[in-house]
Structure 1
Amino acid sequence: MEYLLLPATFIVAHAEQLLVNATEITGCIDINLFEVGLTISIASINIGNIFGNLKDGVTLKVNLLSAKGEIRVYLKNGNKVWVHLDV
């Protein structure tokens, strides 16, 4: 599944905490460099931190007893942050 989060400028201005189903994504984005630092939790369990550039996309692979797959966060159309959930 893919979800449009918010325009990147809105996210960095408000350091939003986003909830997509049971997945919680917290962090911030540098809108000038598109660098991101995120903490991802599933069902209130911290899965991990990811850092990188949204132009390249950042991916967190999940391999737990209760969840397997990956979460990818990337920039689409130059100004929108998207999350691809495959968990």
Structure 2
Amino acid sequence: MNPTADHRVMLEDICAIAARVCQAPEVAGQPDRNLYEDQLMDSLAFLQLLYTLEDRYGVEIYPTRLCQEDFASPRHIAALVERLRCQG
């Protein structure tokens, strides 16, 4: 799979995960949907999303090293996961 296709698949997966944990099915098709501005992400959804991403992508996400923008939208989340995967 080429990097562009891999990124697209990951972005679609993260959209689906965010839709599930935020209980907002419309997020599945909206990678730029701002989860905070639209009041879709509460603290419980944030933690569920964080743990799901760690498990699914084998990364460690330290909440103290994040800014709100890192989890603002599925596209931002995908960029964060890619950065963490590159860091090893």
- TM-score by length of structure 2 reads 0.30
The structure, 1 or 2, with the larger RCO (C-alpha pairs under 8 Å, 6+ apart) is: 2
Q: Which protein has the bigger helix share?
A: 2
Give the structure with the larger strand fraction. Answer: 1
TM-score using structure 1 length: 0.30
